[in-house]
Every structure is written in structure tokens, then in C-alpha cells.
Amino acid sequence: MLKTKQSTYVNNALIKSTFCFADTSHFLHHLLRSPSPTTGTLTLTTANLMASRSHTHAMNGDTATVTIPKRPKLGPSSITPSQIAVEFSHHDPSVARINNGSFGSCPQSVLAAQHHWQLQFLRQPDDFYFNHLKPSILTSRSIIKDLVNADHVDEISLVDNATTAVAIVLQHCAWSFAEGRFHKGDVAVMLHYAYGAVKKSIEAYVTRAGGHVIEVPLPFPVTSNDEIIVEFRKALERGKADGRKVRLAVIDHVTSMPSVVIPVKDLVKICREEGVDQVFVDAAHGIGCVDVDMKDIGADFYTSNLHKWFFCPPSVAFLYCRRKGDNFSDELHHPVVSHEYGSGLAVESAWIGTRDYSAQLVVPCALEFINRFPGGIEGIKRTNREAVVQMGSMLMSAWGTHLGCPSHMCGSMIMVGLPACLGISSDSDAFKLRTHLRQCFRVEVPIYFNPRKHGDVDSITAYARISHQVYNKVEDYYKFRDAINQLVTDGFTCASLF
């Protein structure tokens, strides 16, 4: 067979490495039927590839032409429910999987593209490294740059996950203390509901370097953005007491547990008014779940996973660093130091030694999958939000409880109160109930323990965080409803779990 530029064999099917199939079910169908090595090869083609536009960017002295898929005009090729089912047929059909927020989900077509990249590396590692890896990562970064409305592709780096991005930013903060730009006792502010790994990173980098950390106490359940804004202003006032400087504010875009969409634009604006040096938005649940616009939000740093709500395989995230000059990213470095150290964060992150980079390379394919849905990413966000609010309201009514926040403060996840009679009185109880639901009812859903505070009249001490993604069906939520109803009917309490 003739060799062609940027081509490779995947399960004995010849596909071009510079595009993804728009008709993903057609691709998977033929991929699974590919002949064996002893009988020949199958060349895959598609008549309805998406229109594209090209950008030329320079990276580390090289110039690359980047082809970025446009959203196609939807018509007969729009994805159907049966095709969605095929795309997620690897999910366990016995489980009501209403926990997309924890690990995300990846369709079969994107997994196939990932496998293609993995085989391309294994087939000829040197060719892959010297000719394909760098420009392909640049393509992915360029797509994210456009999606999040950044000014320049060099503002976007691809890293393993949001936790890695947090380490990059906080490492820079620690160096600022060590090198005298920040002073002992200077302040970092974060939300009380910050993700656990972020809190640990702040302890490791900021507290250890001599910084003083102030947590913003947030009410839950929450009824309005104003409640959050008021508490945030109070925290900044405490931070500035006695002439101290607030050097860094770490703000969640969507808190994990409990899940609430935070008014980040308002909080960033307050930080600017109050003279906070740097603002970092941790949006592990950002892209694909809520609106993400770098110019509109105005933060210095912003990170979001791509494997949670953007359909990439685990794990990949982007880190945005606002450009402040020609050498704006020279002070930020990947914590894994390799040959590209000093080339700028984006280039450093694109090579941290021999490893599997395939999750970073399938961003174009993930976008093509997304664009098969009406409205693309905006349509998916809108549909997920409407569905999760509807399902949350259904569960709330069935159990006689309430939601953890108004509908305008949720994205693709919402908190639903669980019946008080279940006797959830600790984090341990919440975890044991979650395990019980998984093992006995085949329902996967995280549970948040919310201890009663002095003067509380609310008897609800636990909330379930339900997610909605394109593969979910109403039966998933009915299964959860019926499981809790059965426990209540049986007189179950968490005290019976060991």
C-alpha cells in the first residue's frame, strides 16, 4: 500500500491524522469490521467532513498551519439517540450513572481517535515526536483558544488536569514568597468549598512559604449570588487588615461539593477594585458545563478539565495565563522539568518526557463530536442544565425535600436534599450510603454531608449531587428515586451500615 503524509494504520484501517470523522457511527461501524492483517486493509473515507478554517501560529520558532473544525450545518447527519447509545455503549448498562461530574465521559469515536494516536506513537516513536506531536498539540491549543475567547494561543497550555494547573500557579506563588516579591504574612483567599486537592496544594505551596490563608465561608443551601458576594467582600476586608496585601484569590467557577455556580465575573471585578494582585479561577467543571469567556471573566489564570464536560478521555485540562507582555509566561513553569524548560509554559507543558499525550491530541475529535448536537457546545450546556433542573425538581418532590440552590446557580449538576429519616449524620455515613446505593441498587451518585448549624431549622443533613450528560435517560433518575423510596419504606437508616 502506498504511504501518504501524516497517515497511519488503526486496526488495519488507513485514516488521516489531520482530521476526525464527522459521521462517527459510520467510522466505528467500519472500524469494527476492518479486515485482519492477513487479508488486507480498509481505507476509510467520509463524504460529510466538516468545513474548516486554517490559522497559522508560531511556536518555539516553528510555524504550523492549524486546521480548526467549524460547527457543521446540522441536518440529516445530526446525531440521533441510537448513535448516542452506540457512542457510550462501553458504559455499564446496569448502572444509573448520574455522576458525570466526577470523572466525565468519552464517546467511542473519540476513544478510537485516541487509540489511533497511541498506535501512531508506538509504530514510529521518532517520527511521531519530531513531526507530529508538537503541531498536533498546537492544533488542540488553538481550538481551546477560540472556544474560550483568549487573545493568543500562547495563553493556553495543555496539562494533565486542573490539579496540575493549580500546582503550576501556586508554585509560582511560592517562588514569589521565596524570592521576596511577596512577604511573610501576605494573604491568599480561597472559598471554603474549594476542592480538597486545591486546599492541600495551597497548604503545600502558600502556607509553607509563609503566606496567610483566609477561607471565605459560604452558606449552603444558598439562595442568591448576593450571599456569596457579601461573604467574599468580608474575607477581603479581613485579608487587608493591619496593612496586609492580598496577593492571590483562588475562586471556583463551579464548586464540586456542594455544587454551586459561583458569580466569578463579579468576584474578579471585586478583586480588581480591592487591589488583589492575582486572580486564579479553578473551573475543573468549566468548559462544556458553564459559559467560559476569558475576556469576560477577566482572571489572570483559569483552568478547566477537558475530560469532565468536553468529552475528552482522561486526563487533560487547559490552563489559561493572561498575556501581560512578550515574556508573560516565563515566570510560570511546569512542575515536571524537562528539555523545554525556559521555552514558555505552553511549550514546557507539551513535552514533560516520554508519556502518553493522546488525550491532548483528540481535542479536534471531541469538538467534532460536540458539533453533531444541535447548537454545539452551547446546545449541550443548555440541554443539560434544563434536564438536571427538571430531574432535581422531580426528586425533590418525590422525597419532600428541596434543592441546594436556585436553578440559575447550577450548570449541569444540582444538589438535591435527601430525606432526613435516612439518618445521615457524618461524612462517613454519606460515603457508606453512596457505597450501598452502588452495590445494592446500581446507582452511582455522590452524597454531601451538610451538618446542621446552631439555630438551623432545616432537618436535611445530606444532599445528592446529580449530573446530566447527553447519554443520561430519565430512567436513570427514576432508578435513584425508587432506590431512596425503597430505603425509606424499609425504615433504613445509615446506622445499620458498617
Kindly state the cell numbers that stand for 355.
Answer: 508519556
pLDDT at 324: 78
pLDDT at 325: 64
Q: Which residues pair with 403 in a beta bridge?
A: 416
C-alpha separations of 123 from 5, 17, 120, 325 in Å? 15, 14, 5, 41
Question: What is the C-alpha separation between 467 and 289, in angstroms, rounded?
Answer: 10
Question: What is the C-alpha separation between 193 and 195, in angstroms, rounded?
Answer: 6
Question: What is the C-alpha separation between 253 and 265, in angstroms, rounded?
Answer: 9
Residue 352 is given by DSSP the state S
The amino acid that residue 124 corresponds to is Q
259 backbone dihedrals φ, ψ, rounded to 5°: -90, 120
Q: Which residues pair with 96 in a beta bridge?
A: 443
Give yes or no for a contact between 15 and 44, defined as CB atoms under 8 angstroms apart: yes
pLDDT at 331: 84
Please write the tens of the pLDDT for every residue from 342-363: 899 999 999 999 999 999 999 9
Question: What is the C-alpha separation between 122 and 8, in angstroms, rounded?
Answer: 11
**What integer best gives the mean pLDDT of the chain?**
86
CB atoms under 10 Å from CB of 374, counted, come to 13
Kindly state the cell numbers that stand for 486.
Answer: 425503597
Which helix (H) or strand (E) element contains residue 69? Answer: strand 62-69
The helix/strand/coil state of 237 is helix
pLDDT at 146: 97
pLDDT at 16: 36
| Cβ-proximal residues to 243 (8 Å cutoff; 6+ apart), any chain | none
Pairing of strands 317-321, 156-159: antiparallel
pLDDT at 455: 63
Residue 419 is given by DSSP the state P
The helix/strand/coil state of 285 is coil
Please write the tens of the pLDDT for every residue from 398-445: 999 999 999 999 999 999 999 999 999 999 999 999 999 999 999 999
Give yes or no for a contact between 433 and 463, defined as CB atoms under 8 angstroms apart: no
In total, the chain counts a number of residues equal to: 498
Question: What is the C-alpha separation between 387 and 468, in angstroms, rounded?
Answer: 7
- Dihedral sign, CA of 385, 388, 390, 393? negative
Give yes or no for a contact between 45 and 27, defined as CB atoms under 8 angstroms apart: no
pLDDT at 457: 62
Q: Which residues of the chain have pLDDT under 70?
A: 1-77, 325-330, 454-458
C-alpha separations of 138 from 286, 309, 335, 351 in Å? 21, 21, 20, 12
The amino acid that residue 408 corresponds to is H
pLDDT at 498: 82
Report the Cα 381 to chain-centroid distance in Å: 13
Question: What is the C-alpha separation between 317 and 166, in angstroms, rounded?
Answer: 11
